[in-house]
Amino acid sequence: MYTAFFALSDLPFSIAPDPEYLFMSDRHREALAHLTYGLGTTGGFVLLTGEVGTGKTTISRCLMAQLPENTQTAFILNPTLSSQELLATICDELKIRYRKTGATLKTLTDKIQEKLLKNHRENINTLLIIDEAQHLQPEVLEQLRLLTNLETNTKKLLQVILIGQPELQQLLQRRDLRQLAQRITARYHLMPLNKQEVAQYIQHRLSVADCYRVVFNKKAVAMIHQLSQGIPRLINLLCDRSLWLAYGESQSVVNKKTVIKASTEALGEEYNLIPWWLTPVKIAATLVFTISLVAAGMWWGEHKEFSLNNIIANNKVSPQKTIANANKDKVKPIKESTKVANNALATAKIAPSVSQKNTDENKVKLKAIDKFSQNSVVEQPLVLGYKSNEYKASHSIKNNNTDKLNKPFILKATQGVSNKLLKTFQHAVNETLENDTKSNTTLESSFSATEQASVDNKSLTQSKLQPIKPAAIRPLSQMPQWLQQDLPTLKFEMHIYASDGQGWVRVNGKDVHEGEKIAKNLVLEKIEPQQVILNFRGENFSMPALSSW
């Protein structure tokens, strides 16, 4: 055994549901809280679902260890029984004496009801826990519901916890079981562990076995999470086999290579790693990306060469000078011979975009700019712009702490700038001013009238928005008639809630997560423990879990 080699007092990764090794992650803690809450209410049924190996049975045993002394529990592990066999099993678990031969449904039901009444008189709570409940037949579930009909004015005399795989939620969607589904007072779906929780889970089980040193390195833990997908039972199998292999090779610390080898022996070929470059989808994606990259490079090379040739031809400048100017990071200002043109363009804050060294070159390039603007072909872009904030400060008046333009911004034609280029820039300036005005108008409209009056010589960015209380989400039955008529058909077949936002619902045969679209104009906004929040054409409303419309 490897326990002595790793200084362990016990086998830490046994798949037996030992409550002592229960790792209370946030998900497991929530699941246990839901079960406890369900037992504290006056309802009849509590539902716990989760994938295979996530720790549902271990949580149920932990719950049983925390039950008060005045609770009598019947725990059924094999629910593949008929209605009569199930009632007989309940009698055996509750220690009810009955005639073994010739017992009928009525006889067994009467015996159970007598026991429930007796426990109630003696202030004893009666609890029935059924594991693997997805194997229950619909008629057996209906028989359970009939047992919970026995009640007083304040509580039901029998409480039932159903534990099963996600298929149990689908089973409860049957129309003939809708009465039972409506009696579920608490439900929770147990999700797998994330990467951080996997590391904590492994270390927790090692510490319970009196081992406090690092046995699995970080890469090994990451590989265990990848192979197991966070399912505790698979984590146990991988860790146990990895420790065996490490013991056989005299390794004091388990590494990634050992975990991969252990996965083949413990989990089989189904969980073997496939290199990412061998998956069909990723192969196709890699090919598309490579082809796109090559095409983009070819287009860029041709476009750059074409632009460079046009600049050389139009400006009549030597290729060496043109290439040198194109490779400069910063545009140098026009010198003495271009001062007149720069002063004329200063009104619109037009920045010169071509460095010039003498008057002759300036004249050639100004003509080239005018030629480009007339032909609507500018291969090397001009830098045109102005500082709108400075302009508004000098061309606006203060009115109720809001800047309003009192005169338009008119550009003037100067030497070297064509009329067509001037009109284009004038249109851009006007459009920018309109956008700035619209932004200010939108910002002003978001303030309440009371706060508008209280603003005194402060900018809009310094004022405080009036808090608006969110409107309560109304149920679908209280929404306008037009919404109820236009809303498409909905059938919620599964409701998987998780507080970390990883839950989903199955609606109309499709799994939908929070924020995803269910149908046209219909979005699933939020999943809550007992209901879902939907948005249809801008209107939010709620619907109960596992319901239809």
Q: Assign residue 357 a region (left: φ > 0; alpha: ψ between -120 and 50; beta: otherwise).
A: alpha
Q: In which order are the strands placed within the sheet that holds 522-527?
A: 474-475, 539-544, 531-536, 522-527, 517-519
Show contacts of 240-247: CB within 8 Å, 24+ apart.
240/11, 240/13, 240/14, 240/266, 241/265, 241/266, 242/216, 243/2, 243/6, 243/13, 243/215, 244/2, 246/2, 247/2, 247/5, 247/6
pLDDT at position 449 is: 44
**Are 180 and 141 in contact, with CB atoms under 8 Å apart?**
yes
pLDDT at position 163 is: 93
pLDDT at position 338 is: 42
The residues that bridge with 543 in the sheet, in sequence order, are: 532
pLDDT at position 307 is: 57
Phi, psi (deg, nearest 5) at residue 205: -70, -35
Count of other CB atoms within 10 angstroms of residue 126:
21
Which amino acid, residue 58? Answer: T
Specify the pTM: 0.52
Phi, psi (deg, nearest 5) at residue 121: -65, -30
pLDDT at position 461 is: 42
pLDDT at position 384 is: 45
Q: Assign residue 328 a region (left: φ > 0; alpha: ψ between -120 and 50; beta: otherwise).
A: beta
Interatomic CA distance for residues 472 and 52, integer angstroms: 38
Q: In which order are the strands placed within the sheet that holds 510-513?
A: 492-496, 504-507, 510-513
Residues 6 or more apart whose CB falls under 8 angstroms from that of 317 comprise 311, 361, 364
Separation of CA 54 from chain center = 20
Which amino acid, residue 168? Answer: L
**Are 31 and 496 in contact, with CB atoms under 8 Å apart?**
no
- Over the chain (549 residues), what is each successive 10-residue block's mean pLDDT? 86 84 84 81 80 86 86 90 91 90 88 91 91 91 88 83 90 87 85 91 92 91 92 92 91 91 78 51 73 79 59 50 46 42 43 44 49 42 46 48 50 68 74 61 45 42 45 84 88 76 81 89 87 90 84
pLDDT at position 112 is: 92
Helix (H, G, I), strand (E, B) or coil at 240: helix
Helix axes 83-93, 105-121, angle to 10 degrees: 30
Helix (H, G, I), strand (E, B) or coil at 423: helix
